[in-house]
Copies of this chain bind each other. A is one copy, B any other.
Amino acid sequence: MSGSKIKNMEEFAAVSGISRPTVSKYFHDPESVRASTRQRIEAALERHDYRPNIFAMNQNRKLTKNIGIIVPYLADPFFAEIVRVLERRCIDAGFSPTLFSAHGEQALENDILDGLRSLKPAGVLFAPLGRLSDKSAIEAFCRDVPTVLFDSNLEGLGEAFIGSDNHSFVSQTVEYLTRTGEPPCFFEMRHPANPNANKRRKAYLTMMDRLGFEPHVIKIDGTGWGFEEIGRQGGLKVLHEDALPTNTLLCSNDRLAIGLLSACYEMGVEVGRKPEARLRVASHDDHPFSRFTCPSLTTAAHDYAAVSDNAVDTLFRVVESGGRLGERIETLFPARLIMRESA
């Protein structure tokens, strides 16, 4: 990297002794030029630091190397963690991921989709808000931009959906809880934002029926994305009424459970699998913080890596096949039971 400033590809082509169209080809795909040519270009790259103008590049290309990643709520460490993996995979594959969070608001989600259009992305990895999503807006977006959904499935939208198998989550926790103690009551929000919640409730009812236990669904009030606080308030209420049919609570997700456990602690209700404990609590997701609750939370873990890898791979396949797949793909990964101290 000598001092000489290179303004554009024309000049860089000159100093590298290669014609501009070939240099252009090289930047589009280094493997597409002869090895000797590649070496000459890369030698020049070491002497002068030049990078193609990203705006000029994308201006005429029908297909950019941009990839959009949209999550419903970035302040949830669960999504932050998934995003980290997705980002890395995209970068390694030579794409430029851009990160967006809807922050729990439909209006923002729509704005993001709008803005994303003008980035002409090669593809989009999209975890929608769920119930709050504007289905028609998303449908319109998916018509224009190759999109792979993850985490929340919106029926029929996007080229594919990659997620976790909610039935696998619930069947494992319910099986474990019924085998080792009283059958669980299901603890969830009355109006869950996420379609996974509904699938989990149904799976709970199915499992309880199959095992011959009476199901009990406890619905707590609250709206928004502050699940911990909702779980805490709901927990305080339930514990106050002191009318639980069994001593075991299965939470729809870990964030509710985190709130619930804090309510239990506050009320002096001991939680755990020890005989003297008054309550057992289990949950689903293996949230990054579930390891540090008191007691540590027994839960069913997503296969983060498999979901991330598969979502990215699927998107790449969509992109390579020109943006459309023959038919919509749905891939679900099973959960893994994480036994800790709370149940």
Partner of A75, one of B55, B81, B99, B258: B81
A296: chain B residues within 8 A (beta carbon): 262, 266
Q: Closest CB-CB distance, A106 to chain B, in whole Å? A: 15
Q: Tell yes or no: A318 within 8 A of B by CB.
A: no
15 further A-B pairs in the complex, CB-CB below 8 A; given A55-B56, A74-B84, A266-B295? A53-B118, A55-B58, A55-B59, A59-B59, A74-B83, A83-B101, A84-B101, A84-B103, A87-B101, A99-B100, A229-B291, A232-B292, A258-B292, A266-B296, A289-B289
Q: Tell yes or no: A213 within 8 A of B by CB.
A: no
Q: Tell yes or no: A261 within 8 A of B by CB.
A: yes
Q: Tell yes or no: A293 within 8 A of B by CB.
A: yes
Interface string of A61-101 (1 = CB under 8 A from B): 00000000000001111001101100110010000101111
Partner of A56, one of B59, B100, B111, B228: B59
**Residues of A bordering B, CB below 8 Å:** 51, 53-56, 58-59, 74-77, 80-81, 83-84, 87-88, 91, 96, 98-101, 103, 111, 115, 118-120, 228-229, 232, 258-259, 261-262, 265-266, 288-289, 291-296, 341
Partner of A262, one of B76, B91, B111, B294: B294
Say whether, besides A59-B59, A81-B75, A294-B294, A289 and B258 are in contact (CB < 8 Å).
Answer: yes
A262: chain B residues within 8 A (beta carbon): 291-294, 296
Mostly helix, strand, loop or mixed at chain A's interface? helix
Of the listed residues A51, A261, A294, A341, the one surrounded by the most CB atoms of chain B closer than 10 A to its CB is: A294
Give the CA-CA distance A120 to B99 in the complex, in Å: 18
Q: Closest CB-CB distance, A231 to chain B, in whole Å? A: 9
A81: chain B residues within 8 A (beta carbon): 75
Listed A/B pairs (22) with beta-carbon separation below 8 Å: A51-B118, A53-B59, A55-B59, A55-B120, A56-B59, A74-B74, A74-B83, A75-B84, A76-B77, A76-B80, A83-B101, A84-B101, A87-B101, A91-B111, A98-B99, A99-B99, A99-B100, A232-B292, A258-B289, A262-B296, A266-B341, A293-B294
Q: Closest CB-CB distance, A38 to chain B, in whole Å? A: 21
Q: Closest CB-CB distance, A232 to chain B, in whole Å? A: 7
A295: chain B residues within 8 A (beta carbon): 265-266
A76: chain B residues within 8 A (beta carbon): 77, 80
Give the CA-CA distance A262 to B59 in the complex, in Å: 53
* Contact (Cβ within 8 A) B118 A54: yes
Give the CA-CA distance A75 to B87 in the complex, in Å: 13
* Contact (Cβ within 8 A) B51 A289: no
Q: Closest CB-CB distance, A110 to chain B, in whole Å? A: 13
A56: chain B residues within 8 A (beta carbon): 55, 59
Closest B residue to A115 using CB positions: B96
Q: Closest CB-CB distance, A49 to chain B, in whole Å? A: 10
Partner of A80, one of B75, B118, B120: B75
* A-B CB proximity, top 5 nearest: A294-B294, A75-B80, A265-B294, A262-B292, A55-B59
